[in-house]
Amino acid sequence: MTIAPPVRQATSLFLERFGSRPTVLVSAPGRVNLLGEHTDYNGGPVLPFAMEQRTVVAVGPASTWRAVSTLDPDIQDLNPELIERGHWTAYLSGVIRVLGRRGLAPRGASLAVASSVPAGSGLSSSAALTVATARALANLAGHRIPPELAADVAFHAEHDEVGVRCGRMDQTVAARARADHALLFETGTGEVLHHPLASRVWLFDTGVRHRLSGGALNQRRQECEVALGLARELGCRAEALAAIPEADVGDLVRSIPAPWGPRLRHVVTETARTRRAAAALASRDLTTLGRLLVEGHESLRHDFQSSCPEADHLVEGAVELGALGARLTGAGWGGTVIALLPPEREEQIAAELGLRFQAAYGRLPQVWSTRAGPGLRSEK
């Protein structure tokens, strides 16, 4: 069973609010990071895939800028000169500004957004929105833009205009993913490789949310910088933590105190694990992939200290119940645990794991599953 993108909702919202049919419809997916956590800002690889859940952007010509979303059905008049930070339309204005600088924007547009990607849950609804908007508006202006360009426009919109300190992973996977494949993205070089991922991936929401802006995440980023500095003082010549050879980790961690030594060890071993996981996908070896997920979780838990008890509980329970692997995905300190479950028992294990979580924390976690879907595409 595949989930259809909300094209009808976007079309009827457009029709209802603007009184005509949209001329261009584009959709882009949310994403799940299979492996490669806290490697992106250290020059390492990430291995995300696009979810089946998607954001649809419907646009039509207009002399000014106005937008609606199923999340905010009141018509919003946009002034792309003025980015209203903290408001969802900032993402649209950001895209309009970046397209405008490149001569790819129309003179105005009506936009209607409908999405099945949960917003603000670490599944990258923002990149789904900016990537789809970039292509939709460029098409409206008569330009065909390839996925690479849509990803670049969306990155600059979110990073430079909206002001989010993000890397390029989210926009890259939303634009360039392939159905039934995960995408190995080497953030150091920009290289992208597609590896087959045919299995269903289960998601268990811990229900724990932490605001990361300015807090724990920035502290980790800074600790990584210090760790690199300490490694270089010890004679290491790497320009980024991810470039440190795995064979050097033992010696370095003996000389670099906590927390910096363990932070370094996480980034270096996670880099190696992520590339091994991509190789495991290439040879369709889900057993090895599952083991790497669990090792990745242990590294987040002990070396990077970015897990939380709810996530540890879910990962341990999943492994006990026979999962091939599980780990906390996303920046950390809460969010979602992903699990690879044996297909013949997946429903049963997912239900049992939910009950165990309820017994420990007094509430059922939200449980759902997805598959690797396609990246950016035009819709009819």
Q: Are strands 109-115 and 65-69 parallel, antiparallel or unpaired?
A: parallel
93 binds, among ligand ADP, Mg ion, none (CB under 5 to 8 A by kind): none
- Which residue, 114 or 340, has its beta carbon nearer to ligand ADP? 114
Q: Which residues are catalytic?
A: 170
113 binds, among ligand ADP, Mg ion, none (CB under 5 to 8 A by kind): ligand ADP
Kindly identify the residues of this chain, within the stretch 147-176, that bind Mg ion according to CB under 5 A: none
List, in order, residues 6 or more apart from 229 with CB less than 8 Å away. Answer: none
> Is the torsion defined by CA of 36, 177, 128, 43 positive or negative?
positive
User: Which tokens is 123 given?
Assistant: 């599944």
List, in order, residues 6 or more apart from 344 with CB less than 8 Å away. Answer: none
Q: By Cβ distance, which residue is nearest to Mg ion? A: 126
- Which residue, 51 or 224, has its beta carbon nearer to ligand ADP? 51
User: Which tokens is 191 given?
Assistant: 């290289």
- Which residue, 129 or 337, has its beta carbon nearer to ligand ADP? 129
- Which residue, 119 or 230, has its beta carbon nearer to ligand ADP? 119
**What are the C-alpha distances in Å from 154 to residues 175, 235, 341?**
9, 39, 34
Q: Are 322 and 345 a contacting pair, CB within 8 Å?
A: yes
33 binds, among Mg ion, ligand ADP, none (CB under 5 to 8 A by kind): none
- Which residue, 124 or 299, has its beta carbon nearer to ligand ADP? 124
CB of 120 to Mg ion, least distance (A): 8
Q: Site map for Mg ion, 70-109, x if CB under 5 A?
A: ----------------------------------------
Interface with Mg ion, residue 126, by CB under 5 A: yes
Q: Are 204 and 353 a contacting pair, CB within 8 Å?
A: yes
User: What is the DSSP code string of 32-96?
Assistant: EEEE--S-GGGT-EEEEEEEEEEEEEEEEE-SSEEEEETTEEEEEE--TTS--TTSTHHHHHHHH
For ligand ADP, the binding residues (CB under 6 A) are 55, 69, 71, 88, 91, 113, 115, 119-126, 129
120 binds, among Mg ion, ligand ADP, none (CB under 5 to 8 A by kind): ligand ADP
42 binds, among Mg ion, ligand ADP, none (CB under 5 to 8 A by kind): none
Residues that bind Mg ion in the complex, under the rule CB under 5 A: 124, 126
